[in-house]
Structure 1
């Protein structure tokens, strides 16, 4: 069941929840996401007939997405469709620059939903755990690895030393030696990366607190964490997330989390940042 913001777009909810839905509900959700215009016009029974499921399955799917029923889901789809940015295919745009502008506009239109699944309590607990940890390991693999490396550097520059190990076995070895009072922060867009899950298991066995930043609330990474920030994916479906993977939303949230940590730490974080700027300044040449 959807537990995020009531303002989250229905396609965002589908992208985040579809991978963990029951097979029949997943088929309904994917059919809706793939043809929103048709879904708006169809009744629950018509959707059921088109997908090959019972009407009750369509209603359960709408409820899993956080709506009272299918009529409420149709209204939400119509509202979001009216404000959607058209794709290059819809506008007939053929130039590369036009396609680039269209991609940026669509990304910007979805930014409001980036934190729609994050609550105040989760965010406060997450930032507090980063602040209190005696030792912090940041782990990320696959396409999330650059986000993890950047996050570790930003934390360190803000006076919150963070370890980052690129090798997957090295991550597990380090995680297994963290111990109580430490924390392990795993960044995984898909939430199903086996190497990252193994790191979380090793960290927990050591007695460390396990944190996660991911895009899917029912993924193994999200469910294995003590505290998880679920960042809505920019893409409309899990399939698109795999084919056209973007970590831009994760990067935006991780940068903002560091900013919140700096605000929490106050003068000590500001002093650390000034030291970082001094080092950067000495590294520049004329």
Structure 2
């Protein structure tokens, strides 16, 4: 991830860091301008950790050392990565919502900084070519899987989906090496989701993971991993809220690329979908 910002790199690995390293990245994320001006020893003293923890944190983030981290911070801070919209807490509820949405929108581009182009292309090819396609998620990601399965089916890529965790595992266990399971999990650690992934792995099916972290039990099982970086400020916020927003935005584009790659098959499916939708619209003329 050579072009990924320090904030994006932190978001992708924060779940794997030791307590001392987490304290270091919290300072890096919240006070990048300060870190740029400090030596490694000064930062260690400021955080209250050993200098070796600073070096280890830099290496975990993919930098050769502390000097390289400082250069990256200077470049991305200068580019205005951390500029934010005013909170507008003194305004109306609508003002506050507008400010929050504007801030989130300004951060969305960083969500794709960790996405590998070759992995994305392979995932699309696998989805299109699978004999059977199963889309799974649990917890806060469950609604995303249901929506993606319906949308993929509507564009001509028939997709199976079930909400019951046991049914997910049973169905995954009955897959074959010609099948693909698309699994969505922000943390990559939801127990029921990991059990379903293990069932698919035992069946020999190909697993595509859409997640927020580069390291997790789900990633360990996946054949293709699409990391959609967090745009939130804290690990807890990532787990509870924001990842679902960036995942939803990504999945919208993912489905669209599959529709486009399906060509005439996708256009024919779209026409059938529109026909069904039109038949279910009621203008009240018969009332």
TM-score w.r.t. structure 1 length? 0.91
Which residue is equivalent to 2:42? 46
Which moves more between the two structures, 259-268 or 185-194? Answer: 259-268
Going from structure 1 to structure 2, the CA distance change for 1:187 and 1:42 (only over 3 Å counts) comes to same
Which residue is equivalent to 1:70? 66
Counterpart pick for 2:175 among 144, 153, 178: 178
- In the alignment, the residues of structure 2 paired with residue 285 and residue 270 of structure 1 have an alpha-carbon distance, to the nearest angstrom, of 25
After superposition, give the CA deviation of every residue in 1:52-73 in whole Å (9 maximum; x if it has no partner).
Answer: 3222321231232233332332
Any idea what SS the aligned residue of 1:166 has?
coil
1:31 is displaced (CA, Å) by 2.9
1:229 aligned to 2:233? no
- In the alignment, the residues of structure 2 paired with residue 162 and residue 29 of structure 1 have an alpha-carbon distance, to the nearest angstrom, of 40
- In the alignment, the residues of structure 1 paired with residue 131 and residue 200 of structure 2 have an alpha-carbon distance, to the nearest angstrom, of 14
Number of aligned residue pairs: give it. 281
Which residue is equivalent to 1:261? 258
- In the alignment, the residues of structure 1 paired with residue 267 and residue 231 of structure 2 have an alpha-carbon distance, to the nearest angstrom, of 32
Give the conservation status (yes or no) of the 8 Å contact 1:138–1:186. Answer: yes
Give the conservation status (yes or no) of the 8 Å contact 1:11–1:236. Answer: no
- In the alignment, the residues of structure 1 paired with residue 107 and residue 265 of structure 2 have an alpha-carbon distance, to the nearest angstrom, of 35
RMSD of aligned residue pairs (Cα, Å): 1.9
Which residue is equivalent to 2:16? 20
1:252 is displaced (CA, Å) by 1.2
1:173 is displaced (CA, Å) by 1.1
- In the alignment, the residues of structure 2 paired with residue 92 and residue 258 of structure 1 have an alpha-carbon distance, to the nearest angstrom, of 37
- In the alignment, the residues of structure 2 paired with residue 23 and residue 140 of structure 1 have an alpha-carbon distance, to the nearest angstrom, of 29
Counterpart pick for 1:188 among 180, 185, 194: 185
After superposition, give the CA deviation of every residue in 1:12-48 in whole Å (9 maximum; x if it has no partner).
Answer: 2111111112443233112322433433332211111
After superposition, give the CA deviation of every residue in 1:101-158 in whole Å (9 maximum; x if it has no partner).
Answer: 2212221221111111111210111111101111111101011011111100111001
1:235 is displaced (CA, Å) by 0.7
- In the alignment, the residues of structure 1 paired with residue 89 and residue 37 of structure 2 have an alpha-carbon distance, to the nearest angstrom, of 24
Any idea what SS the aligned residue of 1:255 has?
helix
1:253 is displaced (CA, Å) by 1.2
Any idea what SS the aligned residue of 1:62 has?
helix
Which residue is equivalent to 2:116? 119
Any idea what SS the aligned residue of 1:164 has?
coil
1:254 is displaced (CA, Å) by 1.2
Which residue is equivalent to 1:100? 97
Which residue is equivalent to 1:86? 84
Gaps of 5+ in 1: none
Going from structure 1 to structure 2, the CA distance change for 1:76 and 1:96 (only over 3 Å counts) comes to farther
Any idea what SS the aligned residue of 2:207 has?
strand
1:241 is displaced (CA, Å) by 1.3
1:92 is displaced (CA, Å) by 6.5
TM-score w.r.t. structure 2 length? 0.90
Any idea what SS the aligned residue of 1:229 has?
strand
Any idea what SS the aligned residue of 2:210 has?
strand
Which residue is equivalent to 1:110? 107
Give the conservation status (yes or no) of the 8 Å contact 1:217–1:230. Answer: yes
Any idea what SS the aligned residue of 2:226 has?
strand
1:93 is displaced (CA, Å) by 4.7
Give the conservation status (yes or no) of the 8 Å contact 2:4–2:113. Answer: yes
1:214 aligned to 2:211? yes
1:11 aligned to 2:7? yes
